[in-house]
Chains A and B, each alone.
Chain A
Amino acid sequence: MTPLFAALDTQALTQYLINGLSYGMLIALVALGYTMVYGIVELINFAHGDLFMLGAFLGWTIITAVFKVSPDDAVLGPVALLVCFVIVPAFCGLLNFSVDRVIYRPLRKAPRLAPLVSAIGVSFIFQNLGLFWGGPQDVDFPKLVSNKNLLGLDATVRFTYQDLLVVGVTIPLMIALTVFVKLTPLGKAMRATAQNPTAAQLMGINTERVIATTFILGGTLAGFGAMIYGLTINSIHYQMGFLVGLYAFTAAVLGGIGNIPGAVLGGLLIGLVRSLGSAYVGERWTGALIFAMLIVVLVFRPAGLLGARVREKV
């Protein structure tokens, strides 16, 4: 028996799967913003990870400076949480909308590189805002959701309140997003615009309004992700948007950029590889494993796991 097989006891494995899926859902929330925006304007919004970071800082400020919540406060804590879960997503949605309106929209007909470089610029501006906001050091994000085991104190597998928070926020959001995109007129207009913007205009669809909606939705999801990150990792930093953004972008590409279920699948896979990889191979290898997986997938399916195999040109 190799040590690898010796380590494969089912309880530990279950635990790694829970941890992996939990982190994967967070990545998926951020990945959705990349994939939706790419799907509609073919822009890789490099500022998306940093938007997520600013959301986390806003949550931290609301909790520590506005409500001045101490970690064990049973009343103020939930109130602050609720306020955060409304204001932070709204803030991120509006900020994303504003960036598009002011910076990307005037470049809509410019060569592809112009908005791309602008997005990198916005990313740096956001990071500097974060540095100014929280300082250069790690910032403690209050632990308002406990990591007590929901399965009982003696249980060997841990599924905590924090895990419940992740599941309880992301799953309904993903269902709502799917229903919106599949069934509502604006959601259908969004898919139509992504597939053929000129034809969408000819149908009477205000494509600029559809694009604005997409930025708002993507930003809002990043805001939810930011709160979940703060409440589960409990430490935020002005450069955290880079790594999370990179993982999320990778998740979007892995699943097939522009494809909504693909972003979720990609996020979950990255979460699982990260968790299982650090358990069975070693934490220092997780980055390499994730990108090795990306490369292998792209070699065999260049458009990603759920991406259209050939770009449909009709």
Chain B
Amino acid sequence: MAALLSLDLLRAGYGPIDALHDVSIQVSEGEIVALIGANGAGKTTTLMSISGVVKARSGTVSFDGRDITRMPAHEIVKLGLAQSPEGRKIFPRLTVLENLQMGAFTRSDRDGVATDLEKAFVMFPILRERKNQPGGLLSGGQQQMLAIARALMARPKLLMLDEPSLGLAPQIVVQIFDVVKELNKTGMSVLLVEQNARMALKVAHRGYVLETGRVTMADEAQKLLHDPRVRAAYLGE
């Protein structure tokens, strides 16, 4: 399978410190890839570098056959790469509907946007119920749903999810991972960043382990799930 997203020796960081050291990651079409690691390992920085919000210092990011390393963040979205960021980052004083409209900001196909809005409401009925309320009034789980639905409104080829399970009740986590699997069945590729390594590796095809800015393991998700080092470090066994 062709690599949809490919990070090649990516180095990036903040101020004088490099948070990522020569990170290489691939996501193929139709794949769910989990990126697991401890707090501060560089998972969020990786996603933000892919999205163009944090600029790469060296190395390359290519997506769908194009080099996007130096591309401004707002142009990357147009290529079909959307992110539901860590901490959800919904717009608290925009309504739920407006939040979703923002997700489709780069699109001009009104009919397609209307269709996708309806799909989002079917996927998360609570969002339809509360569509005219400010996003900031939603509960944590609802905000997570909104953040995912908002990213989907870009109709991405690759969806990146940063800690979608953080701070959520177990049933809602299950619900959100079910959605991820459903989306993948429709052909969407997913790059999943999680501290909840067990959940992530259960839904993913492949996984990478990130430690202090370096990829230390890369394998099929099932193998990682049974790897003694992963079990000891990330699965609490």
Contact = CB atoms under 8 A, between A and B. Distances in A.
Interface of A: 185, 188-189, 191-192, 195-196, 198-207, 308, 312, 314
Contacts of B154: 203-204
Interface in B41-97: 51-53, 72-78, 82-83, 85, 87-94
A201 B106 CA distance: 11
Contacts of A201: 51-53, 73-74
A199 B92 contact: no
Given A188-B102, A192-B94, 17 more contacts: A188-B94, A188-B98, A188-B101, A189-B102, A192-B102, A195-B91, A198-B85, A201-B51, A203-B103, A203-B150, A203-B154, A204-B106, A312-B136, A314-B90, A314-B92, A314-B136, A314-B143
Interface centre among A189, A202, A207, A308 (most CB of B within 10 A): A202
A114 to B, nearest CB: 16
Contacts of A198: 53, 85, 89
Interface in B134-184: 135-136, 143, 150-151, 154
B105 A189 contact: yes
A199 B105 CA distance: 12
Nearest to B47: A202
B83 A202 contact: yes
A258 to B, nearest CB: 10
Closest 9 CB pairs of A and B: A204-B77, A204-B106, A199-B89, A201-B73, A312-B92, A206-B74, A195-B91, A203-B102, A203-B105
Contacts of B52: 201
A201 B105 CA distance: 10
Contact of A205 (B51, B105, B136): B105
Contacts of B77: 202-204
Interface of B: 51-53, 72-78, 82-83, 85, 87-94, 98, 101-103, 105-106, 135-136, 143, 150-151, 154
Contacts of B85: 198-199, 202
Contacts of B101: 185, 188
Contacts, number: 77
Contacts of A185: 101, 105
A189 B91 CA distance: 10
A206 B74 CA distance: 5
Given A207-B74, A312-B136, A195 B92 contact: yes
B74 to A, nearest CB: 4
Contacts of B75: 204
A195 B93 contact: yes
Contacts of A207: 74
A249 B121 CA distance: 43
Contacts of B90: 196, 199, 314
Nearest to B77: A204
Contact of A196 (B51, B73, B91): B91
Contacts of A188: 94, 98, 101-102
B51 A202 contact: yes
A1 B82 CA distance: 71
A312 B101 CA distance: 21
Contacts of B103: 203
A202 B83 CA distance: 7
A196 B53 CA distance: 13
Nearest to B78: A204
Contacts of B87: 314
Contacts of A312: 92-93, 136
B50 to A, nearest CB: 11
26 contacts: A191-B94, A195-B91, A196-B89, A196-B91, A199-B85, A199-B90, A199-B91, A200-B102, A201-B73, A202-B53, A202-B83, A203-B102, A203-B103, A203-B106, A203-B150, A204-B76, A204-B77, A204-B78, A204-B106, A204-B154, A205-B102, A207-B74, A312-B136, A314-B88, A314-B89, A314-B92
